[in-house]
């Protein structure tokens, strides 16, 4: 696990720096510089592109991780990489040729109040293609066991670009209507940077013929198309469906709550980036015990760190909303359900990587499609029929994560006799739940102080409560010896 922790630590720092910048963008800049309607429009365009991206990428980024380590001969490896670069381009050209039909399909789901998006659908296509090729070259780097630079581009670059553009809007260097256009080009630049880095790590000799196992590669690519993207697709479906009933303002409010709730998953994203190729390599080499160890250790360590941030986020969310404009307040239940779904998903460890890279990968097409359809119909029921507002969207997401998470745990147990949970998992639940209920019930009674019209009392409340929660949580987890890796890390830090 040494290489995992080294790169995961660096990736976690990058991701949380990205989340910090994203938090500033979301809580302060978007809500004040771009305003609700255009913020909602940006969220809609990016969510729509995320729904199209898996189709454009066609699962190639997972295919690279699955097969790269299985090639022993360089010419076969180079034929493989040459072929996987071409397929997304073919799909992108097909989608681009028929984009007018995609445009009409998108506008069919948009209410009359949101017709402003009609001038921006082409940027959905540009961002989708850019993100698809970014993921391809990012996987290219990951199989070389180099995930940090790609992670920086994925998690930090976008948010830094958004911050720069938001200030450009504030200083009137660009107009609000130009924000999405320039942001789309920033995504293109990111892909070019990732491609250059990946090719520097490994530049294959280009071949025009396919590797010997091309049938197996194409079959895997078809089945894996929704793998790993399902959880993101679910949240993007939520934002996409809002535009069919409410204004883009509501999409902006929901996007903020989802961002806050998703904050806890950063460690999962960091660790998964290096766990994927390691899991694939262990499965390809039939190292069953190593796969078992990765499964159990990733589960408990992700639950451990995710539990801390679950408590911090949900015990401070009411104070956090006080910092923002009034329209964004009241999303506590959305944050709780989204963060709960993310925490449960983190407890699965590298379950997804095991399924994706095993001989049972075909199930991913079923689970990904069924999960998306379930969320779509639950959203129609809770959000449209019962009018549960955005809490209905979050409830749909939580239910989908729970149902399919349980299914995936059962499936891996049945097919591979692997199980992520131990008695330490129960201990972690018994730590997280009481601390959440304890610290969620009170705040410090501080006098109101404002800077430029923004109350900073909530900031002090968040800081003070967090300074109490973190050491208590760390101490309890350390004393109960929940994780060997965590205790070793704390012991090392204490010696320093």
Could you report the per-residue pLDDT of 27-38, keeping only the tens digit for each?
Answer: 888 878 887 788
| Separation CA 78–CA 92 (nearest Å) | 23
**Residue 496 predicted with pLDDT over 60:** no
Q: What does the pLDDT read at residue 369?
A: 85
* pLDDT score for 427: 96
Q: What is the pLDDT of residue 181?
A: 94
Give the pLDDT confidence score for residue 3 in this predicted structure: 54
Task: State both tokens at 196.
Answer: 């250059």
Where residue 28 falls (left for φ over 0; alpha for ψ -120 to 50; beta otherwise) is alpha
Is the pLDDT at 4 greater than 60? The verdict is: no
Residue 269 confidence (pLDDT): 74
User: End-to-end distance of the chain based on CA atoms, in angstroms?
Assistant: 22
Query: 100 pLDDT exceeds 90?
Result: no
Least confident of 137-141, 150-154, 210-214, 341-345: 210-214
Gap between the Cα atoms of 258 and 253, Å rounded: 9
Torsion on CA atoms 104, 108, 113, 116, rounded to nearest 10? -20
Please state, as a whole number, how many other Cβ atoms lie within 10 Å of the Cβ of residue 144: 12
What pLDDT does residue 191 have? 95
Query: In angstroms, rounded to a whole number, what is the distance separating the alpha carbons of residues 332 and 335?
Result: 5
For residue 291, pLDDT over 60 is answered with yes
**What are the boundaries of each domain within the chain?**
2-495
Instruction: Report the distance separating Cα 323 and Cα 326, nearest Å.
Output: 9
What was the pLDDT predicted at 342? Answer: 93
Query: Do residues 397 and 375 lie in contact, with contact meaning Cβ atoms separated by under 8 Å?
Result: yes
Better-predicted residue by pLDDT, 186 or 26: 186
Mean pLDDT for the stretch of residues 455-474: 88
pTM as predicted: 0.85
- Per-residue pLDDT averaged across 266-271, rounded? 72
* 328 band by pLDDT with thresholds 50, 70 and 90: confident
Alpha-carbon span 238 to 44, nearest angstrom = 10
Mean pLDDT value across the chain: 86
Please say whether the beta carbons of 140 and 191 come within 8 A. Answer: no
How far is 15 from 406, CA to CA, in rounded Å?
27
Q: How far apart are the C-alpha atoms of 465 and 57, rounded to whole Å?
A: 43
| pLDDT > 90 fraction of the chain, expressed in percent and rounded | 39
pLDDT score of 1: 47
Binning pLDDT at 50, 70 and 90, where does residue 372 land?
confident
**62-66, 329-333, 455-459: segment of lowest average pLDDT:** 455-459
In angstroms, rounded to a whole number, what is the distance separating the alpha carbons of residues 176 and 169?
6
* pLDDT at position 230: 64
pLDDT tens digits along 158-199: 999 999 999 999 999 998 889 999 999 999 999 999 999 999
Which tokens sit at 86?
Answer: 């071409």
Structure tokens at 284: 């390809």
pLDDT of residue 16 exceeding 80: no
Return the pLDDT at 352: 87
SS (H, E, C) the chain: CHHHHHHHHHHHHHHHHHHHHHHHHHHHHHHHHHHHHHHHHHHHHHHHHHHHHHHHHCCHHHHHHHHHHHCCCHHHHHHHHHHHHHHHHHHHHHHHHCHHHHHHHHHHCCCHHHHHHHHCHHHHHHHHHHHHHHHHHHHHHHCCCCCHHHHHHHHHHHHHHHHHHHHHHHCCCCCHHHHHHHHHHHHHHHHHHHHHHHHHHCCCCCCCCCCCCHHHHHHHHHHCCCCCCHHHHHHHHHHHHHCCCCCHHHHHHHHHHHHHHHHHHHHHHHHHHHHHHHHHHHHHCCCHHHHHHHHHHHHHHHHHHHHHHHHHHHHHHHHHHHHCCHHHCCCHHHHHHHHHHHHHHHHCCCHHHHHHHCCCCCHHHHHHHHHHHHHHHHHHHHHHHCCCHHHHHHHHHHHHHHHHHHHHHHHHHHHHCCCCCCHHHHHHHHHHHHHHHHHCCCCCCCCCCEECCEECHHHHHHHHHHHHHHHHHHHHHHHCCCCHHHHHHHHHHHHC
């Amino acid at each position: 696990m040494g290489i995992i922790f080294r790169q995961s630590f660096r990736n976690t720092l990058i991701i949380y720096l990205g989340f910090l910048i994203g938090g500033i963008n979301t809580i302060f800049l978007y809500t004040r510089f771009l305003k609700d309607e255009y913020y909602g429009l940006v969220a809609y365009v990016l969510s729509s592109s995320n729904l199209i991206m898996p189709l454009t990428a066609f699962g190639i980024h997972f295919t690279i991780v699955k097969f790269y380590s299985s090639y022993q001969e360089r010419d076969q490896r180079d034929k493989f990489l040459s072929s996987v670069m071409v397929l997304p381009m073919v799909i992108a050209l097909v989608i681009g040729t028929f984009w007018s039909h995609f445009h009409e399909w998108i506008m069919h789901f948009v209410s009359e109040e949101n017709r402003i998006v009609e001038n921006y659908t082409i940027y959905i296509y540009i961002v989708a293609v850019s993100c698809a090729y970014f993921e391809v070259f990012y996987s290219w780097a990951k199989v070389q066991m180099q995930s940090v630079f790609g992670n920086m581009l994925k998690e930090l670059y976008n948010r830094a670009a958004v911050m720069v553009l938001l200030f450009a809007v504030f200083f009137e260097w660009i107009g609000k209507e130009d924000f999405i256009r320039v942001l789309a080009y920033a995504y293109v630049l990111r892909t070019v940077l990732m491609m250059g880095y990946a090719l520097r790590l490994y530049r294959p000799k280009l071949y025009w013929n396919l590797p010997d196992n091309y049938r197996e590669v194409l079959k895997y690519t078809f089945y894996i198309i929704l793998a790993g993207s399902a959880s993101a697709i679910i949240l993007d479906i939520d934002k996409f469906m809002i535009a069919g009933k409410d204004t883009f303002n509501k999409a902006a409010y929901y996007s903020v709550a989802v961002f806050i709730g998703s904050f806890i998953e950063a460690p999962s994203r960091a660790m998964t980036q290096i766990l994927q190729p390691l899991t694939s390599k262990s499965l390809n080499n039939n190292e069953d015990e190593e796969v078992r160890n990765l499964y159990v250790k990733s589960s408990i360590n992700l639950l451990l760190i995710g539990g801390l941030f679950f408590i911090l986020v949900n015990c401070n969310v009411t104070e956090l909303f006080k910092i923002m404009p009034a329209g964004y307040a009241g999303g506590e239940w959305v944050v709780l359900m989204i963060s709960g779904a993310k925490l449960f998903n983190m407890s699965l460890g590298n379950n997804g990587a095991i399924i994706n890279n095993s001989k049972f990968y075909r199930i991913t097409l079923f689970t990904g499609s069924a999960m998306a359809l379930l969320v779509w119909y639950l959203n129609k029921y809770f959000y449209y029929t019962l009018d549960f507002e955005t809490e209905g969207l979050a409830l749909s997401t939580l239910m989908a994560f729970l149902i399919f998470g349980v299914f995936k745990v059962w499936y891996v147990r049945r097919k591979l006799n692997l199980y992520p949970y131990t008695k330490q998992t129960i201990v972690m639940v018994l730590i997280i739940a009481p601390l959440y209920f304890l610290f969620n019930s009170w705040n410090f009674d501080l006098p109101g102080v404002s800077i430029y019209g923004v109350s900073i009392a909530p900031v002090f409340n968040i800081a003070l409560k967090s300074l109490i929660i973190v050491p208590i949580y760390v101490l309890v987890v350390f004393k109960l010896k929940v994780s060997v890796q965590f205790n070793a890390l704390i012991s090392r830090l204490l010696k320093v």
